[in-house]
Amino acid sequence: MKDETQTTLPAFDTWCIVELYGRQQIAGKVSERTIAGQGFIQVNVPDTGDQPGYSRLFGPGAIYSMIPTTEEIARAFIARNVGAPIQTWQITPPQLPVFPDDDSRPEDF
């Protein structure tokens, strides 16, 4: 007869430096999430003073390693490695000159 007793491990919820494929690193409070039946790692990055905190979800296949650490070390890592926020750029299309009638249009236009 099988032993039906299962040991329930506590949920993973600790400060980490997470190394991602593509030579990226992120640090914060890491926990597990299940969305649509799939497991994800959630990294909650705290405020740095200059930038507000944010959360990111990663599939396990995107992660190379996770280094559990203290909150103090994770916050120091974040302060030294904070990236600039994404900026959008807009380029306005060139405006063609508007001529009141065909007679005022230059011939080579």
More confident residue, 82 or 94: 94
What pLDDT is recorded for position 85? 57
Rounded to two decimals, what is the model's pTM?
0.67
Q: What are phi and psi of 47, to 5 degrees?
A: -55, 145
What pLDDT is recorded for position 19? 96
Structural domains in the chain, sorted by start: 13-83 (2.30.30)
- pLDDT tens, 14-61? 999 999 998 899 999 999 999 999 999 999 999 988 888 899 999 999
